[in-house]
Amino acid sequence: MSMNESNHSLSSNASEYSTTTGQIEVENPKMSMRNVDVSYGDKQAIFNVNLDIAKNEVISMIGPSGCGKSTFLRCLNRMNDTIESCKVSGDLLLEGQDIYDPKLDVVPLRARVGMVFQKPNPFPKSIYDNVAYGPHIHGLANTKFELDEIVEKSLKKAGLWDEVKDRLDQPGTGLSGGQQQRLCIARTIAVSPEVILMDEPCSALDPIATARIEELIDELSANYTIAIVTHSMQQAARVSHRTAYFHLGYLVEIGSTDDIFTNPSHKLTEAYITGRFG
Amino acid sequence: MSTDKSSSHISQRYDDELSGVKSQLFEMGGIVEKQVKDAIQSLLDIDSRIAEHVVKDDTTINDMEVAVDEDCALILARRQPAASDLRLVLTIIKTTTDLERIGDEARKIANQAIMLAEEGPAPSGYVEVRHIGHSVSTMLSQALDSLVRQDVNLALEVAKKDKAVDLEYGTAVREMMTYMMEDPRSISRVMGIMWSLRALERIGDHARNIAEHVIYLVKGDDVRHVGIKQMAKAISDDD
């Protein structure tokens, strides 16, 4: 059977991928999602996704454009709330707490579950203020000294301190693309999140800056839980512990990155990661 | 260009993974080297105790081959290594195969030693075993050294020695045939020695393969199936 034939028959029949292959549960999950459906108006974008995210793991979500990976990621800190037509249903728990509870304040949620976006988006403020802003409004620092400490620590963790320590008062927008993205990561870290969501964090960066961010992700995984959406399968292979493959709104397969990239169980996953479609 | 001289990768983990498989390979090389020495010793001393150890330890080598290859597959899948890194991973995968085969040959020699020990007095042909055995263990040590130090000149030495061993093997086979013709009762025992010599000769071939992998690793030139002259030329080319 040629790959082309198999793709053809696969993509036309949702029953072949509507149940997830692989182990969705983990012990003591940091986040736990069950029966998640998402639609934009009449159009359903996510179908019955079930997935646990373990503490301090790096989980990557891959799949062709429009497969719902970014939509799913954005559900995890209610970033989709900003889109009027978007409806999310199902159970989404952060340490057992329903994050879609109507009584829950979304601002502290987003401090606990931070997000780094595709394009670096520093505030039009100084490097210092970019990092200090979050801890300041969340009241994490009582004195200027404490705030200074948080800024320094965050920039160090983001691997940016040595490059910017002499020009903290200069605008964040004056940094290079890779530096800006690390500044955004520092800004996210500054509010001591538990989970960091990254939506294509390297797609606007050159290979060297990308490698530095990936190295950073590896270091950060010691203290944070990281969920990353990426178009680059190679990046998923390099940085993540587990990989989830999405297809047309379904979670097709979830497994250890080692298994997914050497011996995936589902033929759609195999076809996608070997570059046969997507 | 040597992979050891190059500076480290931006990804610390990538560095760790590469040096991890490298050190596993070196460890495997060390064990195989000892297996070969012990196998030869067990045959020369007709010591079935050592020989049995050699037979038993062969499974360790087999397990290591599988483990190293698995790690290499993960590096290929996760890192997509390029240039010298790619050559390093390919070299490691090929070298484990050769090392595992050397382990098998050592086990064959040990098995012969066990059989000969059961049959009694030493047959003729030990001089040849001692001589070729010494050449072959030296070749193997040098091949592994050339790998660790990425020393292409030493690798070339190994390839040259292999030619000499092949000639010695041919001579030894003719000697064995003479022994058998002189004393047909000794045929089964002399055959045991013949098989061992054959195994030694094969070990020499595998050592040469490893040396060829080293030249590929360092120079990027594939020197399999070419003569010594061309090999020497590949080494002297500055690129």
pLDDT band at A204 (very low <50, low <70, confident <90, very high): confident
Q: Please give the share of chain B, as a percent, with pLDDT higher than 90.
A: 79
pLDDT at A2: 43
Q: Indicate if the pLDDT at residue A181 is higher than 70.
A: yes
- Chain B residues in contact with A215 by the CB 8 A cut-off are 10-13
pLDDT at A5: 43
Q: Name every residue whose Cβ is closer than 8 Å to that of residue B82 and which is 6 or more positions away in sequence.
A: none
Interval A131-160 mean pLDDT: 93
Spatial distance between the Cα atoms of B113 and A123, rounded to a whole number of angstroms: 78
Interval B116-145 mean pLDDT: 88
Spatial distance between the Cα atoms of A58 and A224, rounded to a whole number of angstroms: 9
pLDDT band at B3 (very low <50, low <70, confident <90, very high): very low
Quote the minimal CA–CA distance from A234 to chain B in Å.
7
Residue type (1 letter), B105: E
Quote the minimal CA–CA distance from B81 to chain A in Å.
11
Mean pLDDT across chain B, nearest whole number? 92
Interval A260-273 mean pLDDT: 92
DSSP A173-234: GGS-HHHHHHHHHHHHHHT--SEEEEESTTTTS-HHHHHHHHHHHHHHTTTSEEEEE-S-HH
Q: Which of B13, B76, B93 to mutate to test the interface with A (most CBs of A within 10 A)?
A: B13
B170 token code pair: 């041919």
Burial class of A59 by CB neighbour count within 10 A (0 to 12, 13 to 18, 19+): buried
Q: Which of A221, A262, A270 to mutate to test the interface with B (most CBs of B within 10 A)?
A: A262
Contact assessment for residue A194 and residue A224, using Cβ atoms and an 8 Å cutoff:
yes
Spatial distance between the Cα atoms of A183 and A195, rounded to a whole number of angstroms: 17
Distances (CA, A) of A233 to A56, A62, A135, A260, B75: 21, 7, 34, 11, 14
pLDDT at B46: 86
Q: Indicate if the pLDDT at residue B30 is higher than 90.
A: yes
Quote the minimal CA–CA distance from A236 to chain B in Å.
8
- Chain B residues in contact with A202 by the CB 8 A cut-off are none
Contact assessment for residue B161 and residue B206, using Cβ atoms and an 8 Å cutoff:
no
Lowest model confidence (mean pLDDT) among A4-13, A72-81, A153-162, A234-243: A4-13
For the whole prediction, is pTM greater than 0.90?
no
Q: Is the ipTM here above 0.85?
A: no
- Chain A residues in contact with B13 by the CB 8 A cut-off are 215, 218
> Please, what are the domains in chain A?
3-273 (3.40.50.300)
pLDDT band at A61 (very low <50, low <70, confident <90, very high): very high
Rounded to the nearest 5 percent, the helix, strand and coil shares of chain B are 85, 0, 15
Span A72-106, pLDDT tens digits: 999 999 999 889 999 999 999 999 999 999 999 99
Count Cβ atoms below 10 Å from residue A263 Cβ, excluding itself: 11
Nearest chain A residue to B17 by CA: give it.
Answer: A238
Q: Which of B7, B70, B74, B89 to mutate to test the interface with A (most CBs of A within 10 A)?
A: B74
- Chain B residues in contact with A262 by the CB 8 A cut-off are 73-74, 77
- Chain B residues in contact with A261 by the CB 8 A cut-off are 74, 77-78
Burial class of B73 by CB neighbour count within 10 A (0 to 12, 13 to 18, 19+): middle
Pairing of strands A58-62, A195-199: unpaired
Residue type (1 letter), B8: S
Count Cβ atoms below 10 Å from residue A20 Cβ, excluding itself: 19
pLDDT at B238: 65
Mean pLDDT across chain A, nearest whole number? 91
**Angle at the Cα of B215 (from B209 to B218), degrees rounded to 5?**
140
Across the interface, whether the CB atoms of B77 and A212 are under 8 A apart is answered no
Span A222-254, pLDDT tens digits: 999 999 999 999 999 999 999 999 999 999 999
